[in-house]
Amino acid sequence: ETQEAYGAEPGGASFANNCLLARRLIEQGVRYVQLFDWGWDIHGTGKGDDIENHLPNKCKQIDQPITALLKDLKQRGLFEETLVVWGGEFGRTSMNEARNGSTFLGRDHHPHCYTIWMAGGGIKPGIVYGETDELGYFVTKDKFSVRDLQATILNQMGLDPFRLNFAHKGLQERLIGPTDEARLHPEILA
C-alpha cells in the first residue's frame, strides 16, 4: 500500500523509490537527506527535450511521490520537524530559447528569478512570496536571494546562519557568503 502511494517499484531506480527511501531515513533519525532528479534541463533542442513533450512527463514522475512523501511525513508526525525544499540551481526564462534555430519549445537558464517551494519545518503554509514583472524576468517585490534561501534553511535547521563559520584556506568563512547581504524573511516562517 505504501509503495503504491509513492508509485515506487522495489529494486528500480526512480524518484518515487528515492522519496520512499528518504521518508524511511528521516523516520530513522537521519538529519539531512538530499534527493536529485535529473532531466529538467529542457532547452528545446529536440522532441525529447521540449516543454510540450518532456516537461509533462517529468511532472508526472514527481507529482505522486512528492505528494506521498508530504502526506506520509504528516501522518507519522514528522512533517513539522522536517523541512522539505524543492528547487533547482537557477530559474528559467519565460520566453522560448530557440537554441540554434530549434522549432521546439524550451527555456534557457535564468539567474534573476527562480521558483522553489518549501513545506514543513516551520515554514508558513499556503503562501506565495515574491513577485516578478509581467514577463517573469525580474523580481519586483520581496526579493529572496539564494543567500536568503541558504540562511533560511540553516535557521530552520536550528543553526545561526550569521554565526556559523568554518576555516577555509586560513580564513573564517560563512556558508551564506562573506558579506552581510543574506537575511531571514520572517514573513515565510510559521
Full domain range(s) for residue 74? 2-93+105-115
What pLDDT was estimated at residue 93?
A: 87
Q: Three-state DSSP class for 126? A: coil
Name the DSSP letter for residue 123.
B
Nearest to 109 by CA among 127, 125, 89: 89
Convert the pLDDT of each residue in 22-76 to its tens digit.
Answer: 999 999 999 999 999 988 888 888 888 888 888 899 999 999 999 999 999 999 9
Q: pTM for the full model?
A: 0.87
Residue 184 has pLDDT above 90, yes or no: yes
- Is residue 67 domain-resident? yes
- Is residue 159 domain-resident? no
What pLDDT was estimated at residue 91?
A: 85
How many domains does the chain contain in total? 1
- Are 14 and 66 spatial neighbours (Cβ–Cβ below 8 Å)? no
- Is residue 181 domain-resident? no
- What gap in Å lies between CA 95 and CA 102, rounded to an integer? 13
Convert the pLDDT of each residue in 122-181 to its tens digit.
Answer: 999 999 999 999 999 999 999 999 999 999 999 999 999 998 889 999 988 888 987 778
- What gap in Å lies between CA 31 and CA 25, rounded to an integer? 8
- Are 176 and 154 spatial neighbours (Cβ–Cβ below 8 Å)? yes
